[in-house]
Structure 1
């Protein structure tokens, strides 16, 4: 009887331990609140509690085998080190979701997928800015959702897509800083692809490439930062599901031409024109009536046209880091606004009509230029909104 009792207790302990080890992954929200460990020796003392390990810029040329002790690790950051190979130990870390090995010295990406349990939960792989020459075909055995190849200039991009096109789960692809002049035709065959980053490819033949990309029925977001764009292709109007367009850091843009094109993009709801040296918003900004998000921070605006008040669906606007001293009364017509960012402007007052913005949840304002009386009145104007006053910083 006593032996049976002992046996039952042992079985129970083993079961409990197995359950603890197999507990589910932290959600994105839980992970965002988890502690980030940056010292591997200190982290090893609490190995079971480590979900995020950031070992970036520590001169690491080889990972210690003790890395496998972090059985609950979901995010590993090894950016900017001296690694020459992809750490083979990572294949055995079943809970890893995100791996950053960008900005190292990795020439060959060896991914051991011989065991069906290898990279069991891996979704996001950042291998950019390495002297990679190829992507292994067995990458298709991993259910990746995001791959970054940014800055891998030695890659034969057409051969790469032989491997990437086989990843049925792929949703996000970063092809920035690759000196591309055309889009590989296989991109359109990535039927689940929603986000494509083509930033810093200024030699791209854009009219041809965008016309080709517009055949995709899945793409929802295109990022085109740092491309020295002057105009954008009329073919953008052919996209059926494009919702987000990021044109930031293109300081030669013909804004009137851009707005003429974007108003014709059927599903577009987010437009980023930050860091574009914009001095004046044309009246046609009022024709972008489907926008939910408009980013105009870090420009040279001195005024906001009254036509902006026509954007009745706008929920979020960022006008910070400009030279705006007043907002038009029509700003109060933006009844859907939930977030306003207008810090780092010489703003001295807000129009009274803005008190009708009943959905406002958050607003960032300049700390220095608004008087104490105005600040008090704003508390009464928006009793349920979070009001944050930001000190002026030099716009870099």
Structure 2
């Protein structure tokens, strides 16, 4: 690298707008050295380089064809930066917390992506071309304005995590069953009233979040998800927990808070791997004595129910903290319980 070319790079690195403008002018006389150093043509990559410098997203050393991670979090972007389509080997792209309204169809060109983060934008739809991102493993689309999930997303067979919190989705397409490698599915804060039967084929699913939707009944298809470890279905309008929930033998965390549940099924005591059970803000009037059989339980949240007493069997769960604030329980009866949090 010549001394003059090194000085031009230093001007680019300075962060000063006048220095950067001067550096681009000087580069015109060093196109050959630029192309040898960065393995690309200056005229094709000038706009990309200016964009990366402006957004402090380049180290001035990594060749463009070797850039694998690009973080554009909270940059105030209103349009998808099309110059980044030149970065053919991106594995990770973070465009969260911007003001993007449209995801262009050219997204298909970035088919090496493994992680794509688009949360907190203003996207209303996802283009069908997203199906070309065959290597995608994690897709974050939460807190946008998406009303429907395109079936093409269900062609991303390597997808392991799909995050759709805070949209306006009312229907999940049956094609969701194609995502056989999915481990975490987050559908919180949408408008769902039911789930397709095909979701039961997601046998690798470990985490499912259906909180803050419009479920009146527990979706029975959930009981087919034999690998499930975490189930969050709080803040709906569910009245009944079905006995079939006992089929979820790997469940470690279960959250039914903020529903209208009046009693627990005895079968819930068969969930022997359960560590955290959240039942606050319901209408529970009593608990079955068999709940004391949950020997691995570490947290039991019962606040704001209608409980007047607790089964004495809970006292023996000395490794479990039990939270009972907001119930008409006679607290003097619990004075010698070391695991009670009043």
State the TM-score, normalized to the length of structure 1: 0.59
User: Do 1:243 and 1:269's aligned partners in 2 also have CA atoms closer than 8 Å?
Assistant: yes
**Match of 2:227?**
267
Number of positions where the alignment pairs a residue of Structure 1 with one of Structure 2: 285
**Match of 1:107?**
79
What aligned pairs does 1:26-37 form with structure 2 within 5 A after superposition? none
Deviation at 1:105, TM superposition (A): 6.0
Deviation at 1:348, TM superposition (A): 3.5
User: Do 2:128 and 2:150's aligned partners in 1 also have CA atoms closer than 8 Å?
Assistant: no
Deviation at 1:335, TM superposition (A): 1.6
Deviation at 1:241, TM superposition (A): 0.7
Unaligned runs of 5+ in 2: 1-15, 18-50, 61-68
Unaligned runs of 5+ in 1: 1-63, 66-84, 390-396
Equivalent in 144, 150, 159 of residue 129 of structure 2: 159
**Match of 2:197?**
234
What aligned pairs does 1:47-126 form with structure 2 within 5 A after superposition? 88-92=54-58, 100-101=73-74, 106-109=78-81, 124-126=94-96
Counterpart check, 1:276 vs 2:236: yes
Q: What is the CA–CA distance in structure 2 between the aligned matches of 1:87 and 1:254, rounded to whole Å?
A: 52
Per the alignment, do residues 264 and 137 of structure 1 end up closer, same or farther by CA in structure 2, a change over 3 Å counting?
closer
**Match of 1:366?**
325
Counterpart check, 1:314 vs 2:262: no
Q: What is the CA–CA distance in structure 2 between the aligned matches of 1:366 and 1:109, rounded to whole Å?
A: 51
User: Do 2:147 and 2:168's aligned partners in 1 also have CA atoms closer than 8 Å?
Assistant: yes
User: Do 2:157 and 2:178's aligned partners in 1 also have CA atoms closer than 8 Å?
Assistant: no
Task: Quote the RMSD (CA, aligned, Å).
Answer: 4.0
Q: What is the CA–CA distance in structure 1 between the aligned matches of 2:284 and 2:244, rounded to whole Å?
A: 19
Q: What is the CA–CA distance in structure 2 between the aligned matches of 1:300 and 1:202, rounded to whole Å?
A: 23
**Match of 1:179?**
147
Per the alignment, do residues 302 and 189 of structure 1 end up closer, same or farther by CA in structure 2, a change over 3 Å counting?
closer
Equivalent in 284, 288, 296 of residue 328 of structure 1: 288
Deviation at 1:353, TM superposition (A): 0.6
User: Do 2:257 and 2:278's aligned partners in 1 also have CA atoms closer than 8 Å?
Assistant: yes
Deviation at 1:194, TM superposition (A): 1.4
Per the alignment, do residues 184 and 141 of structure 1 end up closer, same or farther by CA in structure 2, a change over 3 Å counting?
closer
Q: What is the CA–CA distance in structure 2 between the aligned matches of 1:324 and 1:148, rounded to whole Å?
A: 40
The structure that has the greater radius of gyration is: 2
State the TM-score, normalized to the length of structure 2: 0.67
Counterpart check, 1:188 vs 2:161: no
Deviation at 1:282, TM superposition (A): 3.5
Q: What is the CA–CA distance in structure 2 between the aligned matches of 1:388 and 1:97, rounded to whole Å?
A: 46
Q: Deviations over 1:116-164 (max 9, x none)?
A: 9x999x67541465323427659949976351256543555123454xx
Q: What is the CA–CA distance in structure 2 between the aligned matches of 1:346 and 1:190, rounded to whole Å?
A: 46
Equivalent in 100, 108, 115 of residue 145 of structure 1: 115
User: Do 1:86 and 1:109's aligned partners in 2 also have CA atoms closer than 8 Å?
Assistant: no
User: Do 2:57 and 2:71's aligned partners in 1 also have CA atoms closer than 8 Å?
Assistant: no
